[in-house]
Amino acid sequence: MMRAMLPGAIAGEAWRNITSGTTKAALWAALFVATVGLIAFMDVRAVVAIVQGSAQFNAAGASVQVLAAPGRIDGQRCAALNGTGRIQQAGAIRKGIPITVLNMPGTPIAVVEATPGIIAMLPMIGQPTQTGTGGAGRVWLSADLAGVLGVTPGSAVHTSAGVATVTGVYTWPDDGRARDLGYAMITPVPPNGSFDQCWAHVWPADQDLADLTYMSLANSDGTQVAFRQLNTTLGATYDATTLFSDRLTARAPWAGAIIGLILGYAVTWARRLEIASALHARVPKTDLIRQHLVETLFWAACAGLITIAALPWAARAGNPNPDMATWLTGIRSVVAATAATPLGTVAAIATTREQHLFRYSRDR
């Protein structure tokens, strides 16, 4: 009659196999890290690529919609769109009176008067270096203009309209975006009165919300109105949600689970002669399952932790938004593989037959 082994005996036998090298824990753990780690790494980098594309789309100003109606934009109405649904920022601009810098009297400089919503967009589409806040006598300069004038944030610029302090310098590359702010001095103004354009940063893209910019029109006198995207070179939209769900590595957790199942089966099937011998010696199969599960879970858990610990680097490298979400995406594959490995072990023992002992011995 077969007698069940005590839990302590099962654990002791498993530990002896691990420490003696019978389990080959290091080998199987290395295979786990190499295969499952590669899948998780590829999935994480695929997500990082999507985030990079999203950041590039926003930085190019492609997510900014512009309604142009010279002299017909109500600044208050445009500013009121800020925070509506997916409208992250909204602001208005108008042409100011050109000024001249006293040390360059023959070169008039274009002045753009902008409401706070436009200033709030600059960190995204203009990548500014800022040292202060907007206010009376404070201006923003495009990098090209600042280079010509030889000024930096905090510098004073003596103009025909008085002394202006440079609050920040923003870049405005020639990457296909409209040149409205390409070589200009931006003067912050309150959203009062009429403006020429209403800008809305809509993210994620939503055409219905973008159309709300028409609500900023002060009147409908029949004057031509133009609605456009600030930068069209990267396409009309960037659907990060669809790209995420349709990425090639979207089924990475399933691939990880299959690999874990295969590894769990292989590590146990490689010891089928030992298992069949134990069955012949009247060791209960349930006890063998428990023992091998302890061994498998040991190396699989260690390998899983090593893989998870290595993933943060893959999630952070080149990621403009290195939050935990990207890292957690890769962890799914590791968890799936770790959970599936014991199932492979159980399947291998379940298919091992005592009556095949001599065949196993011959095959060895």
Q: What is residue 6's predicted lDDT score, i.e. its pLDDT?
A: 65
Q: How far apart are CA 355 and CA 359, in angstroms?
A: 9
**How many helices and strands (H and E) does the chain possess?**
12, 12
Enter the tokens of residue 83.
């925070």
pLDDT at 335: 96
Question: Who contacts 27 (Cβ-Cβ below 8 Å, separation ≥6)?
Answer: none
What is the percent of the chain with per-residue pLDDT over 90, rounded to a whole number?
42
- Spans of the chain below 70 pLDDT: 1-6, 128-137, 220-223, 279, 354-358, 360-364
In this prediction the pTM is 0.82
Could you identify the residue written with the tokens 């009121």? 80
Rounded Cα gap, residues 304 and 186, in angstroms:
54
Supply the pLDDT for residue 134: 44
CB 85 within 8 A of CB 66: no
pLDDT at residue 1 in the model: 45
Q: Which residues of 308-331 are buried (b: 16+ CB within 10 A; e: fewer)?
A: beebeebbeeebeeeeeebbebbb
